[in-house]
Amino acid sequence: MLRNSRARWSGAALALAVLSLSLALLAGVLHVAGYDAGRALVALWRGSFGSANAFASATLVRATPLMLAALGVALAFRAGIWNIGAEGQLLAGAIAATGLSVLLADAPRLVLLPLVLVAGLLAGTLWASIAELLRRRRGVLEVISTIMLNFVALHLVGVLVHGPLQEPLGIYPQSAPIADAARLPRLISGTRLHAGFVIALLVAPLLWWWLRTTASGFRLRAVGANPEAAKVAGRIDAARVAGMAFLAGGALAGLAGAVEVSGVTFALYESLSPGYGYTAIVVALLGRLNPLAIVLSAILFGGLESGALAMQRDAGIPSVVVTAIEAVLVLTVLLADRWRAVQRMPNDRDGSPDAAYGVSEVGRPPTPGLA
């Protein structure tokens, strides 16, 4: 218990140090580039955490799809599956949610809204199953197949919004607005915060509880830590466990797409996702694959991205600067984690899955398994 407490405090200190370093680096880059760093940082703060409305309507709204997709990524990574396809799975969920809401536009809310969310789940699962079949049957690396499927999903959205799902007038490259019955309710009047945020907040602790307390969760962690040992010593069907984690991760990413359509965009269009699926990988890694930490990581990145837009709007500074800082932030965390893992290695030889993926542990990258 003392060791876990120390690790938690150490992790919090590391996160604070990395965040401070990243903000200092951002200020330095802006100064060198000739921008007013003080004005930029003020705009960043105001657009993300500076007011209740900015926090609810911008930061938490952007954090919601990031949180769900990152939980899906973390689930696959913990099983040793390098799922880089959250973007495609998210878009597949958005397509299914939009198509169903247009098809059943006259259905009552109690029927249509749950069906739309389930459609997103199933579409994300189906999209992930393509890569899973290629991995199991043909030995295709999931890194390659999932990246390729991202592009397929992106172009499929383009085909649909210029064709079968285009709005009735045929003027704009987007679908018709979804029915009111398919829209998630607002949580706070006067803000854009919707019930999808509550869904994400419920999924995270449930996933943490499942991984930590159930036999199936332990099997998944064991497979991610060492699939061969799990098969030989634990008599675990490593291929089946990894495959199920892959599909479940796709389902969560698909749900993120359905939530985005039902809670934010209310229609399908080509730029629906500003790269949520890719950022979700960063969010999951920064949260060290811990579902509870991913909640905080998603809110942080939601704040950075919404603040970047405010910085571009109010201070005339390209938002891509913040994207570069996000990348440096993650690299710093990974390097710091690796250094801590090396320092701890002589005294940590239990080899248990919790040593690699526990709430209070560093969380070394999982071994990608093709078994």
Residues 6+ apart with CB under 8 A from 228: 238, 371
Is pLDDT larger for residue 299 or for residue 32?
Answer: 299
Question: Whole-model pTM?
Answer: 0.86
The tally of CA atoms less than 13 A away on the side-chain side of residue 371 is: 21
DSSP 237-298: -HHHHHHHHHHHHHHHHHHHHHHHIIIIISS-BTTS-SSHHHHHHHHHHHTTT-HHHHHHHH
* pLDDT tens-digit map of 156-211: 999 999 999 999 888 899 999 999 999 999 999 989 999 999 999 999 999 999 99
Q: Check whether 362 has a pLDDT greater than 50.
A: no
* pLDDT tens-digit map of 22-77: 777 777 877 787 888 888 888 888 889 989 999 999 999 999 999 999 999 999 99
Q: Check whether 18 has a pLDDT greater than 90.
A: no
Sign of torsion over alpha carbons 88, 90, 93, 97: negative
The 8 Å CB, 24+ separation contacts for 312-319 are 313/43, 313/47, 314/43, 314/46, 314/47, 315/35, 315/36, 315/39, 315/40, 315/43, 316/35, 317/30, 317/35, 317/40, 317/43
**What are 128's two structure tokens?**
């992930």
pLDDT score, position 86: 96
pLDDT score, position 181: 94
Is pLDDT larger for residue 280 or for residue 363?
Answer: 280
Q: Check whether 8 has a pLDDT greater than 90.
A: no
pLDDT score, position 10: 57
pLDDT score, position 299: 94
Determine the CATH number of domain 2-357: 1.10.3470
Sign of torsion over alpha carbons 264, 268, 271, 274: positive
Quick one: which of 209, 239, 235, 213 has its CA closest to 224? Answer: 239
3-state secondary structure of 318: coil
Question: Which of the four pLDDT bands, split at 50, 70 and 90, describes residue 3?
Answer: low
- Residue pair 186/56 in contact by the 8 Å Cβ criterion: no
Q: Check whether 357 has a pLDDT greater than 60.
A: no
pLDDT score, position 308: 85
Lowest model confidence (mean pLDDT) among 169-173, 278-282, 302-306, 363-367: 363-367
Instruction: Report the distance separating Cα 101 and Cα 114, nearest Å.
Output: 11
Lowest model confidence (mean pLDDT) among 6-15, 149-158, 259-268: 6-15
Which residues are bridge partners to 194 per DSSP?
186
Residues 6+ apart with CB under 8 A from 321: 26, 29, 30, 33, 308, 311
- Residue pair 179/109 in contact by the 8 Å Cβ criterion: no
pLDDT score, position 319: 75
Q: Check whether 329 has a pLDDT greater than 80.
A: no
User: Cβ of 104: how many Cβ atoms within 10 Å?
Assistant: 17
pLDDT score, position 234: 82
Percent of the chain past pLDDT 90, that is, above it, reads: 61
pLDDT score, position 34: 80
Q: What mean pLDDT value characterizes the chain?
A: 86
* pLDDT tens-digit map of 277-288: 999 998 998 888
